[in-house]
Structure 1
Amino acid sequence: MLASLRAVRHLLDSGTARVLVSDLDGVLRVFDQGLWDELDAELGVDTGSSFRAILGHPYLDQVTRGRGTHARWRELAVEHLVAAGAAPGAARHSVDRWADTPATVDEDVLALLEDTRAAGTPVFVFTNGTDRVPAELAQLGLEAVVGAHGEHLINSADLGHAKPDLEAFGRAHKKIEHHVGQERGEHGRADRERGEPLHLRTDEVLFLDDSPRHVAGARAFGWQAVLHPSGTTGD
């Protein structure tokens, strides 16, 4: 088991965290990083062009904040590749191939999330995602992790802010408080009877992410955070 997952288990066992939050891309689901070189070679463009056109496109910041769509992002990626020298049809094919290439679920991370929830600790997934995330998770069979109706999924596209913005962590924290107050504990029920929301201290949330910037943002907000090694920085 990776040191990051051992660290999370240790912190959970110590009782310092009441909630576990995991990133999605690069943590729970992973992608084949060799695909970028394949796409560049097929298109006959400079190395790194496909990555810059897709995950490096500035429009992605709008998509992950709910101000743009996955479909429009793909269109702009095609335009970027055409400008880089790719033929239009080949560019569209490559972007479609990237979008339709299935991810792989990290079984160690999945086991950690499942074991944590089974032990009584609420678990959430927090992603800088797009409007397509719910369908993608259903395709991977992860409904049990995020809930049948996505109640344990925190998607930046729904929040209007994305990691590492402090506002994103603030809104995510409020959503967690709401669900934990509804679903778990005598404390949550007592608070509801008094008409008060559950108060969850920021340091009672433990966060796992593969981005140093996102981990730094979480810590600045007050969450405990563990950096997870990954081959992707797409989320």
Structure 2
Amino acid sequence: MRPKALALLVDLDGTLRRWDPEVIHGIEAAHDLKPGSLYGTAMDWSRLMPAIIGEITHDEWADLIAADLADQTGDPDRARAAVKEWENYRGSVEPGLLALIRDARGAGIKVGLATNATDLLDTDLRTLGLSDEFDAVINSSVLHIPKPAPEYFGAACIALKTPPNRVLLIDDSARFVYGARAAGLSAHRWTGPSDLPYIRAALGL
């Protein structure tokens, strides 16, 4: 039986931060883009990877997205406007999980943010009111290593000054959950607020 977790790692996108697909669809519709084209273009791994390991900036990534959409639509101005509007939407915070994070820290459990992100992360955290909610922020673009690499999780445990077998990761990606377990951490796949009682019990809250 694993020992009780002394530290918690929480993913950002799809876990602590929620994205409303209707907002994205609305932006696409307003700019006459095909449904799913914004997300599909932005999340293309060959385009996304350089941004989340710090080889290019967020702005450079956005320029690549706009250029690709311009090729698809034949209208560079429309593509740039759509990307700008998409960038202005920063999502919202899952309140129940934020409350759990605060309770965990209040109980002496260290909490880290573990995310594949661009150099816009610090600005996003300020926008979302999350700048002071973590004991450590592990950003792949600063580390130059993405989840689920073992080195990423090793760096996260070092940042929390906690051995892997005493760290619990919460993440909505099955691949990242498996990667964390392979690195010796406990990990739970986030499916929504219904997971909160289980996580609280696992942390003894």
- Give the alignment's TM-score, normalised by structure 2: 0.87
Match of 2:160 in 1: 176
Larger gyration radius, structure 1 or structure 2? 1
Q: What one-letter code is carried by the residue in structure 1 that aligns with 2:49?
A: D
Query: In the alignment, does 2:24 pair up with 1:62?
Result: no
Query: In the alignment, does 2:31 pair up with 1:43?
Result: yes
Q: Secondary structure at the match of 2:21?
A: coil
Deviating more after overlay: 85-94 vs 40-49? 40-49
Give unmatched runs, 5+ long, in structure 1.
1-13, 178-199, 231-235
How far the C-alpha of 1:15 sits from its partner, in A, is 5.9
Task: Describe the shift of the 1:86–1:98 C-alpha distance in structure 2 as closer, same or farther (beyond 3 A).
Answer: farther
Q: Distance in 2 between matches of 1:120 and 1:110?
A: 16
Deviating more after overlay: 36-45 vs 55-64? 36-45
Query: In the alignment, does 2:183 pair up with 1:221?
Result: yes
Query: In the alignment, does 2:140 pair up with 1:156?
Result: yes
Q: Distance in 2 between matches of 1:31 and 1:41?
A: 17
String of CA shifts for 1:177-222, please: whole Å, max 9, x gaps.
2xxxxxxxxxxxxxxxxxxxxxx33110001001111111101111
Query: In the alignment, does 2:60 pair up with 1:72?
Result: yes
- Give the alignment's TM-score, normalised by structure 1: 0.76
Query: In the alignment, does 2:168 pair up with 1:206?
Result: yes
Q: Report the count of equivalent residues.
A: 191
- Aligned residues: percent identity? 34
Match of 1:126 in 2: 114
Q: Secondary structure at the match of 1:144?
A: coil
Is 2:167–2:186's contact at 8 Å kept on the other side of the alignment? yes
Q: Distance in 2 between matches of 1:202 and 1:22?
A: 14
| Deviant stretches of 4+, over 4 Å | none
Deviating more after overlay: 45-54 vs 77-86? 45-54
Q: Distance in 1 between matches of 2:176 and 2:30?
A: 33
Q: What one-letter code is carried by the residue in structure 1 that aligns with 2:48?
A: L
Of residues 82, 93, 103 in structure 2, which corresponds to 1:115?
103
Q: Distance in 1 between matches of 2:24 and 2:74?
A: 14
